[in-house]
Amino acid sequence: MSHVHFQPIGGAAGDMTLAALVHAGAPLEEVSAVLEGLGVGFRIAAEPAQVNGVGSLRLAVGCPPERVHRDFRAVREMIEASDLPARAKERAVGAFRRLAVAEGRVHGRDPEEVAFHEVGAVDSIVDLVGSCVALELLGAETVSCGPLPLGGGVVRAAHGPLPAPGPATLEILKGSKVRWEEERHEMTTPTGAALLAELTGGTFTDAAPPMTLRSVGYGAGRARFRGVPNLLRAVVGELEGVRGDLVLLEANVDDAPGEVLGAAVERLLDEGAPDAWLEPIFMKRGRGAYKLCALAPAGDLERLARLLMRETGTLGVRHHPVGRTVAGRRTVEVELPYGRCRVKVGTLDGEDFIAAPEYADALRLARESGKPLSRVYADVRVAAERDEKW
């Protein structure tokens, strides 16, 4: 399983995030090609940079002048109407939603109608959505990040001079670990905060999970700081083999409707639990109940345990460490006469041993074509073998 850990050494912004991922190996040409599906004019220029002797990458997005201040609804519709990978869409829309909610709280507006000003500009959209696309090209299934740095001083914004960090940045980072630096600059932008909060669920920790290191990239900011280099580092690695950094969460629940428990399972999965499920059990006096179980990364233990309690109303959650052996995996796409479908391919000791169609894609194709789901599954497997995808 591919993982990216971000280390905000001196800054965290949308352009730095994209630059770090490209420097770590995400092909910039492919990122640009995918972003053309947004239907906006842009050009990404990359230049090597040296920051305190560290080789890095700096990106700049060029675009025609705009007078449009897009609101969240317009940005969301733009992303959802594109042909971006599904997970990139979800991550990008989630990041913009966090930003809209934060701006709405600051300005007393409905998040749907928040005009993003700077963040609604094409260059900021390209930075944020491009970072989500770059993660897909790197195969990053999970993301972690160290605490974001916050400076001070005053910055220029569409509303006029504002204190740094900006009010929206602080709204986004409520409940998250941050670190304060003695710099008179905006070190973390609202875009950077929203993107990294969405990718990590708002949990920031310096403790990166054990991984086999694959590549490292450095994104350079434009401001010069006195005490720290203005760099964001992206460390890309593989999480596989026997791992002891997972925790099993368990709670016995006998007073919640089935639909509430089902929704809790879905919410835990959406919030980063590698797996979650329900087990029927019998409690004292033969009373029927359910045990809600979830796997949680060690760094997400408290966040997911609290989420489980809020969703179900249970007053306590048991947890104990577990180990597991994990196969390597990758996602490929196959073309059928009636559409495209993603396929998960499992690998052990360098050999592919299983290929499984992506359920959501297969179900969509079954509905659109009128074919039984079992027929779609069979067609996908035949196409995968024919195209030597596994």
Check which CATH number belongs to the domain holding 348 and give it: 3.10.20.300
Query: Could you say which of 182, 216, 238 is where a domain stops?
Result: 238
**Statement to judge: residues 179 and 71 lie in one domain:** yes
The mean pLDDT of the chain is 88
**Statement to judge: residues 217 and 314 lie in one domain:** no
Determine contact, residues 348/328, Cβ cutoff 8 Å.
yes
| Domain CATH number, residue 294 | 3.30.70.1380
Give the pLDDT of residue 194.
95
* Residues of the domain holding 302: 241-326
Specify which residues 335 forms β-bridges with. Answer: 340
Domain count across the chain: 3
Query: Could you say which of 191, 222, 238 is where a domain stops?
Result: 238
**Statement to judge: residues 178 and 317 lie in one domain:** no
> Where does the pLDDT of residue 79 fall: very low under 50, low under 70, confident under 90, or very high at 90 and above?
very high
- From the number of C-beta atoms within 10 Å of its C-beta (0-12, 13-18, 19+), residue 375 rates as middle
**Statement to judge: residues 69 and 120 lie in one domain:** yes
Residue at 24: amino acid letter: A
Residue at 288: amino acid letter: G
**Statement to judge: residues 92 and 213 lie in one domain:** yes
Return phi, psi of residue 23, to 5°. -60, -30
**Statement to judge: residues 294 and 170 lie in one domain:** no
- Whether residue 299 has pLDDT greater than 80: no
**Statement to judge: residues 127 and 269 lie in one domain:** no
**Statement to judge: residues 41 and 111 lie in one domain:** yes
User: Higher confidence at residue 95 or residue 123?
Assistant: 95
**Statement to judge: residues 289 and 160 lie in one domain:** no
> Where does the pLDDT of residue 388 fall: very low under 50, low under 70, confident under 90, or very high at 90 and above?
confident
- Cα–Cα distance measured from residue 250 to residue 258, given in angstroms and rounded to the nearest whole number: 17
Q: Are strands 231-238 and 212-220 parallel, antiparallel or unpaired?
A: antiparallel
Return phi, psi of residue 117, to 5°. 55, -110
> Where does the pLDDT of residue 366 fall: very low under 50, low under 70, confident under 90, or very high at 90 and above?
very high
**Worst-scoring range by mean pLDDT, 185-189, 266-270, 386-390?**
386-390
Query: Could you say which of 238, 262, 280 is where a domain stops?
Result: 238
- Whether residue 241 has pLDDT greater than 60: no
- 328-336 sheet: strands from edge to edge: 328-336, 339-348, 351-357
Determine contact, residues 222/13, Cβ cutoff 8 Å.
no
- Whether residue 85 has pLDDT greater than 50: yes
**Statement to judge: residues 136 and 230 lie in one domain:** yes
pLDDT tens-digit profile of 132-169? 999 999 989 889 999 999 988 776 766 667 787 889 99
- Count of beta carbons in the 10 Å neighbourhood of residue 164: 20
> Where does the pLDDT of residue 240 fall: very low under 50, low under 70, confident under 90, or very high at 90 and above?
low
- Token couple for 59: 């990106």
pLDDT tens-digit profile of 201-228? 888 988 787 788 999 999 999 999 988 9
Give the pLDDT of residue 116.
62
Give the pLDDT of residue 272.
87
User: Higher confidence at residue 373 or residue 299?
Assistant: 373
Give the pLDDT of residue 245.
67
**Statement to judge: residues 150 and 217 lie in one domain:** yes
- Cα–Cα distance measured from residue 25 to residue 33, given in angstroms and rounded to the nearest whole number: 16
Give the pLDDT of residue 300.
79
- Cα–Cα distance measured from residue 305 to residue 294, given in angstroms and rounded to the nearest whole number: 9
Measuring CA to CA, how many Å separate 337 from each of 63, 79, 133, 376, 384?
Answer: 37, 26, 26, 11, 13
**Worst-scoring range by mean pLDDT, 90-94, 171-175, 350-354?**
350-354
Choose from 61-65, 281-285, 322-326 the range with maximum mean pLDDT. Answer: 281-285
Residue showing tokens 């409690």:
283
**Statement to judge: residues 90 and 213 lie in one domain:** yes
- Cα–Cα distance measured from residue 336 to residue 350, given in angstroms and rounded to the nearest whole number: 27
User: Higher confidence at residue 18 or residue 142?
Assistant: 18
